[in-house]
Amino acid sequence: MIELNNPWITLQFLKEEHRETLRPLAKDGRIWEYTKTLLLTDTYDRQFDKYFDDALTFSTPTAQAFCICDSVTGDSIGMTRAYDLDTRVKKATIGHTWYTPAVWGKVHNKACKLLLLEYLFEAVGLQRVDFRVASQNIRSQKAVMKIGGVPEGVLRRATLRNDGTYADAHYFSILGEEWPEKKIKLQEMVAAAQAGS
Number of alpha carbons in the 13 Å side-chain half-sphere of residue 149? 27
CATH of 4-196 among 1.10.10.10, 3.30.1330.30, 3.40.630.30, 1.10.1530.10:
3.40.630.30
pTM for this prediction: 0.89
Q: What is the pLDDT of residue 65?
A: 92
Q: How far apart are CA 170 and CA 95, in angstroms?
A: 12
Helix (H, G, I), strand (E, B) or coil at 129: strand
Contact by Cβ (8 Å): 78, 9 = no
Asked if pLDDT for residue 197 goes beyond 70, the answer is: no
Q: What is the pLDDT of residue 2?
A: 57
CB atoms within 10 A of CB 158: 15
Sign of CA dihedral 158, 90, 68, 14: positive
Nearest to 82 by CA among 63, 55, 68, 58: 63
Residue 174 buriedness (CB in 10 A; 0-12 / 13-18 / 19+): buried
Q: How far apart are CA 173 and CA 178, in angstroms?
A: 10
Strands 76-86 and 91-99 come out as: antiparallel
- pLDDT tens digits, one per residue of 108-118: 999 999 999 99
Element (H, E) at 10: strand 9-13
Which band of pLDDT confidence, cut at 50, 70 and 90, is reported for residue 127? very high
Element (H, E) at 47: helix 44-56
% of residues, the chain, pLDDT over 90: 72
